[in-house]
Chain A
Amino acid sequence: MSIKEKELTTNSPPCASNSLSNYLWDDHPDESKWADCVHCGMCLESCPTYLETGQEQHSPRGRVHLIKSVAEGKLEVNEQFMDPVFQCLDCRACTTACPADVDVGGLIEEARGQVRQAMPLTGVKRVVSNFFLKGLFPHPERLQAAGGLLKFYQKSGLQKAVRSTGALRVMPSHLAEMEAIMPDIKQSIHKKYKNVDVIPAKGSSKAQVAMLKGCIMDVMFSDINESTINVLTYNGNDVTLPKNQTCCGALHIHAGDRATGKKLAKQNIEAFKDADKVVVNAAGCGCALKEYPELFQNDPEWREKAEVFSEKIEDISKYLYDTGYIKPQSSINKTITYHDACHLAHGQGVRHEPRQILHDIPGVTYIEQPNADTCCGSAGIYNITNPEMASAILERKMENVPEDAEMISMGNPGCMLQMAMGVQKYGRGGKVVHTVQLLDWAYQEDMKKDNEKKTAAVKE
């Protein structure tokens, strides 16, 4: 059955309820994506929500079947349809498992776009969603202010007070758990390098790279941004932080707000126009940036720009691996395991590179964990929107973390928060770190030793 173009471009529902297609808005799920699915079921065991529920509609092929059924007019875009489409973690494990490379993630995001237009959020959800997704994340200055508030909360003794008075008990348990693992807020690189155009390479310069600061990354994890800059400059890269860059839009696209996603995409494409290489240290952001062309399937001009842009995007670990990095001399004597962020392993095919970095740090005892590439349940803001499923998935994940691991290394801030909750709750895994942090710490130690040698030489 083919989809009638006319019906898809109109904004009002058709008169007849049994029309060919029940997708009524522009930018609908792409027929050629589901045409690849032959319903073989090889995806089932890769899907965290299927493993949890055992239900077909919460499996990749089940979701594709439902998305196709709406186009065929068998289903309508209603709440029962919304449930499977929004229960998906968008973790892309199915894309790895699929023999025909069906882009389930892309279909899900497009379907969410339709759901959100058919059933706009109402009430508290609308307010919360608008506040974070539209009011906060896309605005670096407001994010900085929010970061300042969090810092005040932590430093003023307010956090202590809140924790000791039991005020957290009135919060939903998953939010209280999140509060408990909130990292210490430090100075953002946005602020630190406000008046710096190029952060120069240490020693002679080999290349120039631009870096994505990220939105939440730079507030909650500015130390990882700092480590990324250190590691890049240590390896001879001049680093730029293009001024007009903004949030990547991944969270908006995951939530079905494709309009804001497109707006942010355009801003980033422009902001990084002059860069040849854009290094990203958050897997979710990197994957979203690489997939910008998907957003513009009906806009040839921007699609072309997005394609040029997506070619420039590289995860930090892959960039270091491909361009060669200095092997650190100082040891980190820890037993470390690695967790594959979904949007790094499944989304960008980066698996070997971060592991190699860990292997190259002296003193590290590396242990592989079973099902390392299974989602931890963070999935953007999934752990806030679907706390029950997220915590069930986290429990499964933590069962696989080796008991003697002292650190869990990974490449995505969302996973770091979620896994830190897992460590706190299940008491295993030790400390959660970003792979570049480990490399940075070893380099710092190397530099310290170098300096000591130099001062000693001078004294002599």
Chain B
Amino acid sequence: MLLRKKQKQDVDSDILALTKIVGTKSILHYKEDLLSYDCDGFTIHKAMPKAVIFPKNTEEVSAAVKYCSDRNIPFLARGAGTGLSGGAIPLNNEVIISLVKMKHLLEVDYENRQATVQPGFVNLKLTNSISHKGYYYAPDPSSQYVCTIGGNVAENAGGAHCLKYGVTTNHILGLEVVLPDGEIIEISNNGVLDMPGYDLLGILTGSEGTLGIVTKIIVRILKNPEAKKTVLAYFDNVEDGSQAVSDIISAGIIPAALEMMDQTAIEGVEKGAFPVGHPDDIEALLLIEVDGIAEGIEEQIDQILSVCRNRNVREVKVARDEEERGRWWANRKTGFGAMGAISPDYLVQDGVIPRSKLPEVLNKIRSISDEYELRIANIFHAGDGNLHPLILFDSRIEGETDKALKAGTACLKACADAGGSITGEHGVGIEKKEEMRFIFSDEEIEAQTAIRDVFNPNNLLNQGKLFPTPSRCMDIKKVIKETAVTK
């Protein structure tokens, strides 16, 4: 019947045991409540979890992990669920361990320029909490308004300003981790930059939640740059824009950020909630930011302006004030979500290419768009060659999701062929695990799964992510061989 009362679903013993660990208010197990957890920011695959728990401290995480591990129940960790590669999707009916209630800033040590946070602490809140002292946290993924630092560690998140300041792994100084058997360990280099022995922090950062669950993070904080200037440049054709990117870098400037959007992307952000009035007939725009000591900033800006002019820029301007700069960045940073204004669904890819190949790969992406008859918008970190082709599609049209996935794979293939990689910052997750074969041989993948087995021997933690499933190995090999032959 439709109008039935609260379902009397059978509550199994696992749910009861987990309830004992975290408390009745910190567990979800009804179908209706779980449905919101069937995907993260990657919405193409969906799967239902067994339960979602919200531990409040490391001990509860450890107890829950131990319970699951002892009984062979698959489990995984989740932050804000904004990941774009499906890393938090419960493919195997996992118990989801949501870390959003562990959301406190534990300590700020200005003297040693470091801060200790819980994994559920939101990225931007760190900068907001320390900005009054003139400090900030550098990695700034576009989702920084909502994403958690725990999730950033799992995915080794990047962001617009990583060109100059590096990605998450360059800012992690220590971790507390619950291993897949429930043991709690601490890894820290105590501020020593070259610790003897293996780089465990490096292995854990970017492991996409397959090696352990991070419960405490020590991050590096930086002093605000003395000066900052932002330039916006409009180009009539994409080639000029891409050439300008290469020219800026080869002129010896390392901008804090060097972002590019193409015409379709501009259409999206201008129809979205934070338009700034970009013209609709340009093929590309560049958003360039330089920062550092005040001395010399003007000189860099002059250089950038003249590079743009040499590359036939239609219009180029420097942000008048912080307000204008803020509007330009809000427009750029909400770019993915704004695609909703021009398309019901999108699939974002995350390829990396050598900067010099930019015009070539963008042309290739354009032909992929024609071939699959799907619009592709490009919003990307041009400075470090990190492309984000956004494949626009409508999942309600039969076969279109499949087409989008294939077009996405083709984009990644183009990046790999150009000597690049299949992911720059979004992670592999479920989305790109088969494409791992574009850049790694079987032996290389086996070597990596061997490392995973040391931490996660029963593969109960976030199973089915990051590495391709063996069964499809032969098919993929065949594809690669065939494409190689036709070349």
Task: Bits for B366-393, please: 1 = Cβ < 8 Å to A, else 0.
Answer: 0000000000000000000000000000
Determine the residue in chain A with the shortest Cβ distance to B103.
Answer: A54
Contact, CB under 8 Å: B35 / A74: yes
Bound Cα distance from A80 to B52, whole angstroms = 16
Q: Which residues does chain A contribute within 8 Å of B30, judged by CB atoms? A: 80
Contact, CB under 8 Å: B35 / A42: no
Bound Cα distance from A56 to B98, whole angstroms = 10
Contact, CB under 8 Å: A99 / B338: yes
Bound Cα distance from A24 to B3, whole angstroms = 12
A79 at the interface (CB under 8 A from B): yes
Contact, CB under 8 Å: B273 / A44: no
Contact, CB under 8 Å: B98 / A40: no
Q: Which of A62-70, A206-214, A279-287, A303-311 contacts B (4 or more CB under 8 A)?
A: A62-70
A400 at the interface (CB under 8 A from B): no
Contact, CB under 8 Å: A42 / B396: no
A41-B396 contact in complex given A35-B344, A80-B7, C-beta closer than 8 Å: no
Determine the residue in chain A with the shortest Cβ distance to B42.
Answer: A39
Task: Bits for A80-103, please: 1 = Cβ < 8 Å to B, else 0.
Answer: 110100000000000011111110
B5 at the interface (CB under 8 A from A): yes
Residues of A43-65 at the interface with B, using a CB-CB cut-off of 8 Å, are: 43-45, 54-57, 59, 62, 65
Contact, CB under 8 Å: A100 / B6: no
Which B residues fall within an 8 A CB radius of A? 2-7, 28, 30-33, 35-37, 39-41, 43, 52, 54, 80-82, 98, 100-101, 103, 120, 122, 143, 145-147, 272-274, 334-341, 344-346, 396
Residues of A169-185 at the interface with B, using a CB-CB cut-off of 8 Å, are: none
Contact, CB under 8 Å: B145 / A56: no
A156 at the interface (CB under 8 A from B): no
Bound Cα distance from A69 to B33, whole angstroms = 12
Bound Cα distance from A22 to B98, whole angstroms = 30
Contact, CB under 8 Å: B340 / A38: yes
Bound Cα distance from A44 to B31, whole angstroms = 21
Bound Cα distance from A55 to B96, whole angstroms = 12
Contact, CB under 8 Å: B122 / A99: no
Determine the residue in chain A with the shortest Cβ distance to B28.
Answer: A55
Q: Which residues does chain A contribute within 8 Å of B336, judged by CB atoms? A: 38, 40, 99
Contact, CB under 8 Å: B3 / A42: no
Contact, CB under 8 Å: B32 / A24: no
Contact, CB under 8 Å: B146 / A100: no
Contact, CB under 8 Å: A40 / B41: yes
A76-B334 contact in complex given A39-B39, A44-B146, C-beta closer than 8 Å: no
Contact, CB under 8 Å: A45 / B146: yes
Contact, CB under 8 Å: A42 / B33: no
A259 CB to nearest chain B CB (Å): 19
A79-B334 contact in complex given A66-B35, A100-B341, C-beta closer than 8 Å: no
A45-B100 contact in complex given A40-B41, A80-B33, C-beta closer than 8 Å: no
A62-B3 contact in complex given A35-B344, A40-B82, C-beta closer than 8 Å: no
Which A residues fall within an 8 A CB radius of B? 1-2, 13, 17, 22, 24, 35-45, 54-57, 59, 62, 65-66, 69, 74-81, 83, 96-102, 118-119
Contact, CB under 8 Å: A79 / B272: no
Among all A-B residue pairs, the 6 with the closest Cβ atoms: A99-B337, A100-B340, A99-B334, A80-B32, A56-B36, A62-B36
Q: Which residues does chain B contribute within 8 Å of A101, judged by CB atoms? A: 272-273, 341
Identify A42's interface contact among B32, B43, B101, B143, CB under 8 A: B143
Contact, CB under 8 Å: B143 / A41: yes
8 A–B contacts, CB within 8 A, in A order: A39-B41, A41-B40, A41-B143, A44-B82, A55-B33, A66-B35, A80-B30, A81-B32
Contact, CB under 8 Å: B334 / A102: no
Q: Which residues does chain B contribute within 8 Å of A99, judged by CB atoms? A: 272-274, 334-338, 340-341
Bound Cα distance from A75 to B4, whole angstroms = 12
Bound Cα distance from A65 to B32, whole angstroms = 11
Contact, CB under 8 Å: A100 / B344: no
A118-B3 contact in complex given A55-B28, A56-B37, A66-B32, C-beta closer than 8 Å: yes
Contact, CB under 8 Å: B143 / A40: yes
Contact, CB under 8 Å: A80 / B337: no
Q: Which residues does chain B contribute within 8 Å of A45, judged by CB atoms? A: 122, 145-146
A61 CB to nearest chain B CB (Å): 8
